[in-house]
Amino acid sequence: MRSLAWSPPLLLALAVPGQATEVRAFLEEHCFSCHGEDKVSGGLDLTVPPEGQVAALWRWSRVRERVRAFEMPPAHASEVTPAERRQVVQFVDDLLAAEVPRLPRDGGAVTVRRLSRYQWRNTVLDQLGVEVDVAAFPADDLGYGFDTIGDALTFSTLHLEKYLDAAERVAAAVFHGEDPARPARREFAGGAMHLVDDRGARMDSAAHMYTRATVEQRVHLPRDGVYRLRVLAKAQQAGDEPARMQVTADGRELQLLDVPNRSVEEFVVERRFDAGERRFAVSFVNDYYDPDNEDPLARDRNLDVEALIVEGPVDARATPAAARWLAEAADPSADGDARLRAQLDAMLPRLWRRAVTAEERDRLLAAAVSRLEGGAPRIEVERFVLAAALTSPHFLFRFEPDAPGGEALATRLAYFLWASAPDEALLARGRAGRLRDDGALAAEVERMLQDPRADRLAGEFAAQWLELRGLAAAQPDPDRYPLDDGLRAAFAQETELLFLSVLREGRDVRELIDCDYTHLDARLAAHYGLAHDGPPDVFVRTPLEGAARLRGGILGHASVLAVTSNPTRTSPVKRGKWVLENLLGQPPPPPPPGNDSFEDEAAIDDAATLREQMARHRERTKCAVCHVRMDALGLSLERFDAIGRFRARDGAGDIDASAELPDGTALDGLADLKRAVAADPAFVRTLAHKLFVYAVGRDLRPIDRLRVDHAVLGRLASGKVTVRDLILLVVADPAFAGARG
């Protein structure tokens, strides 16, 4: 038998070196049969020396996790006592505590990252005040659960087409060219308008209305604003009142007007309208006919609509606060070259998030001046310059050096906390080198977290970490589990609001698992069978007492319960796997071939049958080691159906939500599960890992994980841990901030 490869320098650092002999005996007796000699399970051979200090410590860390989780040696196939397991865990903890602080501050490399579609949208909104719907953009590929991973963010010609189209629309919105004194004008001949119901008028160049009739025209309005409607009309008079016409918009009356003259007259209606397609209509509403009148000219009252003219917007367009810097960048009275140069000097460093060389500026300036000299209107050239800046690789990609300088570090920090570009204050501090100081960095993080843009951590980081975006694809059986888009949105918002409460109020991160409140609107409250005190569409913080306390924390949220279910039933396996991956950082390996489904899936129609199938599944030796723990976690959530509604019974009777974890901990429902997860140090460590991956843009290497875990352990010693604590831990790490000695 080969013996375990020891590292004497590491053992000498232990406070109690005598433990090494006992741990060695433990491994030789319980581990070598699967991880040494003639058999190597999971690619781990404990009899082969690791290459270097980091590899040795990483191996010990992996051993510790599996021994503590009762995965190695497997609880069902071993007589190892809890005391023996604790001894191994303590041995490794002592070893890591002594050696990890001595590791080199190696930050590693980050792949060049394209802005995700949501980061692109946020950046344009924050920098230019223009909101763009990016739903039509290609979906971003995920890496390690996030869309911020450089290796996963591909780029194609379709991406370029979508970005170019969006950039041109943004440029047209920024350099809009509107002048209230000379508003855009759209003219429609009355005879060319649509005759409603094909009755009551003869259509020529004008609409000749000989009885009650309506003509309408659909017009696209470019923005919310004030528009002026001009109706050119005349009337043939009869009876004791003048001809009257009614002007409407989308079926809503705007004004009732007398048309007293037989010659064409202009009638003006001015109102504020929302952007989009509007339906303007003109109706003749008081027809009169007296064929026996002695005066032939007084026998018939008719209305002629000669034309409809839509002008506007006629109100001054407000410059969004976010875009004032660009509006103020150049003197409007300056000549073409000077004005364009001033705009580029302001535009490029802001949009490209770094200093720009004169060569880079002059190349774009030359292209713009060429267009100007070729006769292109100034506004078209300004739009060209902005669209070019927005489709440049310097805008679309984040080029981040291994040891980022001031501006690069400011950019990395902004896209971590705001999912957007840095503001001028952050860039200035980066250029001045202030972000290299730990105190100044912490102060800047605090400022950024107080900014409303930090709310995006809920919609970007938390929504991806907890897989809330999967709600859009969830398609439960509509007859058994009705779920519409409004309820999906409420599911996600409840969970995001909990994350924001924990973040904004400096609460312990374990409140994400268990707390005594949630956030509900009337629809979600009814879904849960709870009261709602507030306007129906408003989410309000709701205290939870008694049985309702189960809803406090993400494991009681319908969002998580829905994304971890099958279309026709709950899935304890999916739910247990989700807990292991997202909350405890212990993803199970893929199932062996042929073991990824139940033998008789069609027969599962209640919780009892499902439990029986799972028990038979665990009898397979290859499945048991993972499923013992995974199934126990998932079964404890069985009292919640596939869209998160509580159920005490189903067709088979009372639902059994009891289970036992490999360490002997008994679970009987969600309350026990929440206590077990919140008490497990793996939860805080996993949250730190998730933040690291999201922020840095790659998975943790062994040295990263050793360093982060050691820092988290120090935080745990003080008890309370906040999201801010973990953010500061990540931004201070060499992988994020660059090695600082």
CATH dotted code for 185-311 = 2.60.120.260
Mean pLDDT over the full length of the chain:
88
DSSP 8-state class, residue 152: T
412: exposed, middle or buried (Cβ count in 10 Å: 0-12, 13-18, 19+): buried
Determine the pLDDT at residue 625. 59
Is it true that the peptide bond before 73 is cis, omega within 30 degrees of 0? yes
Average pLDDT over every residue of 76-102: 84
Percent of the chain with pLDDT over 90: 64
Determine the pLDDT at residue 297. 81
In this model, does residue 193 exceed pLDDT 80? Answer: yes
Distance in angstroms (rounded) separating the CA atoms of residues 336 and 688: 52
In this model, does residue 619 exceed pLDDT 90? Answer: no
Poorest-pLDDT segment among 237-246, 577-586, 670-679, 710-719: 710-719
* 503-508: Cβ within 8 A, 24+ apart: 503/449, 503/454, 503/457, 503/458, 503/722, 503/723, 503/724, 506/722, 506/724, 507/722, 508/720, 508/721, 508/722
In this model, does residue 19 exceed pLDDT 90? Answer: no
Q: Which among 5-9, 193-197, 320-324 has the top mean pLDDT?
A: 193-197
pLDDT per residue over 665-719, tens digit each?
A: 999 999 999 999 999 999 999 999 999 999 999 999 999 999 999 999 877 666 8
Poorest-pLDDT segment among 145-154, 251-260, 630-639, 649-658: 649-658
611 compared with 202, residue with greater pLDDT: 202
pLDDT per residue over 382-393, tens digit each?
A: 999 999 999 999
Determine the pLDDT at residue 682. 93
Half-sphere exposure of 293 toward its Cβ, with a 13 Å CA cutoff?
15
Determine the pLDDT at residue 585. 94
Determine the pLDDT at residue 405. 62
Report the phi/psi class of residue 347: left, alpha or beta, with left for phi > 0 and alpha for psi in -120 to 50.
alpha
Task: Classify 513 as helix, strand or coil.
Answer: coil
In this model, does residue 600 exceed pLDDT 80? Answer: no
Determine the pLDDT at residue 323. 86
In this model, does residue 95 exceed pLDDT 80? Answer: yes
Phi first, then psi, for residue 402 (nearest 5°) are -60, -40
Distance in angstroms (rounded) separating the CA atoms of residues 174 and 223: 13
Average pLDDT over every residue of 499-512: 97
Average pLDDT over every residue of 200-219: 94
What global pTM score does this model have?
A: 0.87
Distance in angstroms (rounded) separating the CA atoms of residues 460 and 187: 46
266: exposed, middle or buried (Cβ count in 10 Å: 0-12, 13-18, 19+): exposed
Measure Cα distances from 418 to 121, 393, 410, 447, 499 in Å. Answer: 12, 21, 11, 12, 15
**Are 696 and 708 contacting, i.e. CB atoms less than 8 angstroms apart?**
no
Distance in angstroms (rounded) separating the CA atoms of residues 564 and 572: 8
Question: Which residue stretches of 636-680 are H helix?
Answer: 670-679
- Sheet strands (E) in 165-212: 185-189, 194-195, 201-203, 207-209
Provide CB contacts within 8 A for 290, sequence distance 6+. 238, 239, 298, 299, 300
Determine the pLDDT at residue 684. 95
Determine the pLDDT at residue 621. 53
